[in-house]
Amino acid sequence: MQRRAQRDGQFDQCEQRDERVKRAGGRNRLLAAAVAVPVLLIATGCSSDSGSDSGNDAQDTSASTGSDDSAASATPTVQAAAYKTLPEACAVLSKKTLTELVPKGTSSGKEGTSSDTAARANCSWSSLANNGVKGSQFRWLNVSLLRFESDATTGDAESQARTYYTKQVKDAQAVAGAKSVKATSVAATGDEATLVRYDLKKTEGAFKQQTVVARVENVVITLDYNGAGLAGDKTPSADTLTKSAEKAAKEAVASVQSANGEGTSGSSGTSSSTPTAPATSAPSKSASPTPKATPSASASATASNATAAAPKASAEPKS
């Protein structure tokens, strides 16, 4: 009986132990399941975020690449300037031509100062011919050269030259005090050329002014030529002065072409190369003409006044 009671007690203990194990196992499974759910959620969230970041990165890369391509394609390109240099300003006209225009001042050429003679230059001459008691004949000549350079901001050189050419022609027709203003085109002188002529009355006498503005490729030439009869001498013929000015302008154009490897210096005609299009910086102002001959005190004083009264041409671009 005693042994049976012991067996029964041991049996009850085993059943109790098994019951505890079962309950513990159930709790463990519940805990494991509870832990697994948030872990799964976290893993899913990370996976989703990773995919989203990759997509955003791809979009950013694509947008950046597109922006770079757009910026590259938006960068403006301009055609290179046709002419790269200018001739020496005081050498654009031959001695023969100077003798015709300024007979007493062929060696009086004064070159204006310039920080870049390949972009801007000018030279002026003056002549005073004494005719005794009849008075004297005064002549003044100035040649200004301005070369434009292509630039992404300001545009191609030829377009800039065209704009400046048009402005020079307008300015020549708007001189204060000018009378009988006439503007005519000049043939076979660069790509385009215009002659502006007018009368200008001064205390020293009646001046006949001739201005020829010519453009060849990306270079603009402004030639000013005037004459007056001083101290009682007769006023020069405007037609004669016009012919001389046109001849000199053609020669100046040819000199520019020759300096850039085209044609022959001293010849006239239009440029043969394809037009293309600074330098934007302006040429220096023309030198003041100084009479070389001083035959008498009265003639000298009159000529000096005429020099001061003579229109001062300048290749300075005006805004």
For residue range 82-115, what is the model confidence (pLDDT) as tens digits? 999 999 999 999 999 999 999 999 999 999 999 9
Q: Which residue has the tokens 């062929």?
A: 106
Q: Which of 258, 260, 271 is nearest to 93 (CA)?
A: 258
Of 213, 230, 232, whose CA–CA distance to 221 is shortest? 213
Give the global pTM. 0.67
| Nearest Cα residue to 306 out of 122, 136, 158, 175 | 136
Residue 260 DSSP label: T
pLDDT by residue (tens digit) across 149-198?
Answer: 999 999 999 999 999 999 999 999 999 999 999 999 999 999 999 999 99
Helix (H, G, I), strand (E, B) or coil at 28: helix
| pLDDT classification of 137: cutoffs 50, 70, 90 | very high
